[in-house]
Structure 1
Amino acid sequence: MENFPVIDMEKLNGEERAATMEKINDACENWGFFELVNHGIAPEFMDTVERQTKEHYRKCMEQRFKEMVESKGLEVVQSEIDDLDWESTFFVRHLPVPNISEIPDLHEGYRKAMKEFAAQIEKLAEQLLDLLCENLGLEKGYLKKAFYGSNGPTFGTKVSNYPPCPKPDLIKGLRAHTDAGGIILLFQDDKVSGLQLLKDGQWIDVPPMRHSIVINLGDQLEVITNGKYKSIMHRVIAQPDGTRMSIASFYNPGSDAVIYPAPALLEKEANDEKKVQVYPKFVFEDYMKLYAGLKFQAKEPRFEAMKTMESTLNLGPIAIV
């Protein structure tokens, strides 16, 4: 836990900038995860979002979850369940077309807070993408352009609560997977843990830290960086006590964005005979269709399947914003 990469974003503004950028690069290359502090989102505002999210769960979702558990007989299962997650969730889409006004049961104060939180997270996501560009030697804005498509990026939030589980050894909060998209920004509970990532064959806890934002990289960044940065398997362990809150925002390519390894990175690698382009070129929506049925399996066969499709498609250049 003491080795888990924690990035203090205030240090990007002073003499420690170079060391902090190197720390971000190391986290992207060797962890696929890092945790941000002093990221610019006010702690008091984060407290408001957390309080309202937990209130909404108690008032509008907790009873439904209990009824689902009862109907499936999950309190008394005797063997491991591998086709269900112990979580209560709702999804909000922010871009390209927001749907927060259509989400039922959200009171006006919570709706307003979530819209403001999403706006701040979107800004942070774009700032992070430019930091990654800088570390990779790509022109500023390259990753945002690569995600753009014809209608801009796709951006949405999954709000989850993980209630106490009577059989945490048999039911996962969320089964192991890599994220399909671009960059994921997570505001997680600082009291109830459960998020783990797979590193060097071992499951490692992602430490809950008050007012931090956890970052992880999705499959699309692995493709664009030609494997320099990797998406990492992670899961949520259900806990016997306490309800864990998770607000995960996904800054992803637009549905028609064409994704492929950055040519500038391939040129750098051209002199290295061991390094060849190993990732395919594809339309993001096609990848998502494949991912929908294979989310909880290894990512490598998904990349191979997209390579097979690539030979049958005529894909043009990425859009320039």
Structure 2
Amino acid sequence: MEDKGSDWGKFLQVPSVQELVRNYPQSLPERYLQLPGDRPVVPDISPFAFDIPILDFALLAKGDEDETGKLDLACKEWGFFQIINHGVVEEVLLNMKAAIAAFFELPLEEKNKYAQAGNDFQGYGQSCVISEEQKLDWCDLVFLVTLPPEIRNLKYWPDTIPGFKDAVERYSKEAQKVAEEICANKSLLLGMDKDGLKRFYGKTKQAMRMNHYPPCSRPDLVLGLNPHSDPDIITLLLQDDEVPGLQIRHKHEWILVKPIRNAIVVNVGDVVEILSNGTYKSIEHRAITNESQARVSLATITIPYDELEIGPMECAVDDHRPRMYRNIKYVDYVRYTAGRKMEGKSHLDNILKIKSTSF
């Protein structure tokens, strides 16, 4: 992967939000100000939070019928859930969070050694910046491909932070186990054997998006992360235990997800929505900011290889549920979504959804 970049498009570099806040704490450049209809309103940034479905992973892995039913309901009606008793020990979680915090504590000059190139998602910067006019996220990030090891681009891995590589590798392995178990249970629920989904998409890649949301003097005018669904198979989110910020769109309302200590938030990706022919839903979500505290989170994603053709699986299509989506090569899907920046789930409707008039 060294210097190869990705085949997902071209992206622009933008200044660090963290440095902006450090040097000009009251400044709000125009590029970060959301349009009036997109801004979080007062209830959105209040302490109120909602409990999305909570699953006991240990019971799910044992095939407990009640827990399996909860998973099915969560994927159909919410697209999001939290898992407890997932088996990832607290030391691994804390070391991972500490590694992220250590990176964002580095001087800007040091962080810039790992800056994104124009042809690669990986590295330090922001994601999906495609024009000078688009509204920017109030967030800095580091994006790394973590599995399989042979495709890592180590020039983006900070080697000056003691324990960083070890923390990432340990959490990466544990997250992969969790993701595989959840996907195996989804396969059973969709009428296949446990390896049904895995057989369809074959080899996968894992990547991590490490997010740093600085405080903002006017959190009602910006978004930490614009609304979107995830163009992947599954996402595992390690939240900040103390600072909420994740919101999901449920029944046309934005709901703030309450952090649970050491829990992992899981969400359905677009790929699974497409493969399941809409049975399981990927859901719009976003991040908000606050005036006083920085927030850190980690999204670990599982994605297919670029050349995989994705479309509804045979087991998900019948006379009662006609085919909802066209087939598309995964790399073309990612290029399309990245090239349109974050616009909710409009990409699914625009490029893949088969209109009812075509039947």
The interval holding the TM-score normalised by the smaller chain is 0.7 to 0.9
Q: For 1:240-259, what aligned pairs fall within 5 Å after superposition?
A: 240-259=291-310
* CA shift for structure 1 position 238: 1.0
Letter in 2 for 1:204: I
Are 1:159 and 2:178 an aligned pair? no
1:131 is matched with 185
Structure 1 runs (4+) deviating above 6 angstroms are 62-65
Q: Distance in 2 between matches of 1:250 and 1:144?
A: 15
Could you tell me which runs of 5 or more consecutive residues in structure 2 were left unpaired when the two chains were aligned.
1-48, 113-132, 355-359
1:189 is matched with 240
Cα gap change, 1:236 to 1:301, in 2 (>3 Å): closer
RMSD, matched Cα: 2.3
2:83 is matched with 36
For 1:94, what is the secondary structure of its paired residue?
A: strand
Q: Distance in 2 between matches of 1:298 and 1:29?
A: 18
Is residue 337–residue 347 contact of structure 2 (8 Å, CA) maintained in 1? no
Is residue 165–residue 239 contact of structure 1 (8 Å, CA) maintained in 2? yes
Q: Distance in 2 between matches of 1:101 and 1:82?
A: 29
Are 1:290 and 2:336 an aligned pair? yes
* CA shift for structure 1 position 3: 4.3
Are 1:4 and 2:52 an aligned pair? yes
2:137 is matched with 85
Q: Distance in 1 between matches of 2:314 and 2:221?
A: 45
Is residue 99–residue 161 contact of structure 2 (8 Å, CA) maintained in 1? no
Are 1:99 and 2:153 an aligned pair? yes
% identical equivalent positions: 31
Calculate the TM-score normalised by the size of structure 2.
0.74
How many residue pairs end up in the alignment? Answer: 284
Is residue 326–residue 353 contact of structure 2 (8 Å, CA) maintained in 1? yes
Letter in 2 for 1:203: W
2:70 is matched with 23
Is residue 86–residue 173 contact of structure 1 (8 Å, CA) maintained in 2? yes
Letter in 2 for 1:297: E
1:299 is matched with 345
**As a proportion of its length, which structure holds more helix?**
1
* CA shift for structure 1 position 146: 2.3
* CA shift for structure 1 position 293: 1.8
Calculate the TM-score normalised by the size of structure 1.
0.82
- Per-residue displacement from partner, 1:107-148 (whole Å, max 9, x unpaired)? 241111111111111121111110111111122212122222
For 1:59, what is the secondary structure of its paired residue?
A: coil
* CA shift for structure 1 position 157: 0.3
- The one of 61, 80, 103 equivalent to 1:56 is 103
Q: Distance in 1 between matches of 2:265 and 2:344?
A: 22
- Per-residue displacement from partner, 1:224-245 (whole Å, max 9, x unpaired)? 0000011101000011121111
Q: Distance in 1 between matches of 2:108 and 2:201?
A: 34
Q: Distance in 2 between matches of 1:304 and 1:278?
A: 12
Letter in 1 for 2:201: F
Cα gap change, 1:61 to 1:233, in 2 (>3 Å): farther
Could you tell me which runs of 5 or more consecutive residues in structure 1 were left unpaired when the two chains were aligned.
66-80, 309-321
Are 1:115 and 2:169 an aligned pair? yes
